[in-house]
Chains A and B, each alone.
Chain A
Amino acid sequence: MDLVDVPQERNSTLDGQRKVVYAKDAQGRLCITASSGWEVEEIVTTQALDHLNQLSLQAKKDVKQGLVSPLAYWMHTQRMDEALLAQSSGFWRWQVRRHLLPKHFQQLSDEKLARYAQALGLSIQTLQSVPA
């Protein structure tokens, strides 16, 4: 890639930051240059984010229908999955799976809720409901 061909497409995902790309100068020497983004990168990052947002939106619907607990919504909103939430909270995966159900979630002690709150970086109060 030549220096003049380095994309400067102001990716929204970079939030104004610039990243380093290596490109060839007129003498054929590679050098470091800053790029404000390439649409290709924005497309694939947005694709990954859309997938996570989809999971979070679906979980919100499911909470309102009483199918899953608010923990499911916050897990997806914080971009985690069952495996990571289990590792971060110190619960077993099967326990997490149970706590994702409203019935079991409601019976959680404050101490256990605090572990989830800590793992997700939220307050216990936030964890217990979903936004409208």
Chain B
Amino acid sequence: MQTKNNTEFVHQHAGHCESGVASGLLRHHGFPITESMAFGLSSGLTFAYLPFIKLSGLPLIAYRSPPKSLIKGLSKPLDVAFQFETFTSPDKGQARLDELLAQGKVVGLQTSVYWLPYFPPEMRFHFNAHNLLVYGKDGNDYLISDPVFETPMRCATDDLNRSRFAKGVLAPKGLLYTLKTLPQQSQVNPIAINKAIAKTCRSMLAPVPIAGVRGMRLLAKKIEGLPNTAPSSAAFVGHLVRMQEEIGTGGAGFRFIYASFLQEAADCVGKKSYADAADQLIEIGDGWRALALTTARMIKAREPMDAKHLAHLLRKQADSEETFFKSLAKTV
């Protein structure tokens, strides 16, 4: 394996933390890969509505596959190995991180956003599955490449320890990971791309009520039943928009990142149908942005809250995505 020292690490701004970390680690080790390629190759795109998992009283709504799956999902298509380690105490976790940094490694961490002081105060929520890279230590400060920030950051040792060992849903338990083996190939394998696209189509069209387009329809049904006057209704639909736009998705709930992946896939596999699909997905993404805008206007009471209308817009998105993924599945 080609070893490159962490002092040579180059920070890059990304749309999403986990795909940003995954592509950053690979790039550092000399394998050229964009964030969108990493995202698409690990079949990161999905939709899930889990009414039985509550975060501060609101259901889990996700536009991407579960935490860690973006990194783990790259192992097979790229034939690489990541090494994951968790720890029983902050002391042990810190010791191991310092050891790896001293060896010249770039290390990925799972952290809680709330305890990272460099985050804007208004973005600090108790969310435990934020990914970042550490590429060095300077005195008491860790040198951090957080993909969702434009420039490298610094974080004091105590703060980072606290963030790595935060408790609660998806507690990181100090999780750190490094790239153990490099990809054998010099560029992404076209067969792996086709497989990844087929997998995404399957998950979007899965015959389960809470996932993919069916999950969107289940959520639409729930929204339809919300009383227009209750403040809790505004909180519910606002939560949907937060998950779609605010939580680092590159816009339109990862639809734009995935469209970017499809454009790259078209070049790599030499299939024009993927490029056409990308154009369609950009349009679908614009539909998601329009839904977000209408919802925000209703929250601000610039137009009257109309849950039925929002449900209608969401169903339209589900219909478009169903048609889209069915035709994409045929071209793979």
Contact = CB atoms under 8 A, between A and B. Distances in A.
A20 interface: yes
B14 interface: yes
Contacts of A43: 238, 296, 299-300
Contact of A12 (B15, B122, B300): B122
Given A1-B285, A20-B13, A34-B13, A45 B36 contact: no
B251 interface: yes
A14 B263 contact: no
Given A40-B241, A45-B242, A83-B168, A21 B250 contact: yes
Interface residues of A, number: 41
Contacts of A14: 120, 123
Nearest to B255: A22
A102 to B, nearest CB: 25
A81 B56 contact: yes
Contact of B299 (A21, A22, A47, A119): A47
Interface residues of B, number: 54
Nearest to A20: B15
B36 A80 contact: no
Contacts of A40: 241, 245, 292-293, 295-296
Contacts of B14: 20, 32
* A-B residue pairs, 6 tightest by C-beta: A15-B120, A22-B256, A30-B260, A40-B296, A13-B122, A87-B167
Interface of B: 13-15, 35-36, 56-57, 114-115, 120-126, 148-150, 162, 166-169, 171, 234-235, 238-239, 241-242, 245-246, 248, 250-252, 256-257, 259-260, 263, 278-279, 282, 285-286, 289, 292-293, 295-296, 299-300
15 contacts: A15-B121, A20-B14, A22-B250, A32-B13, A32-B14, A40-B292, A44-B241, A47-B299, A48-B125, A48-B235, A48-B242, A49-B122, A83-B168, A84-B168, A87-B168
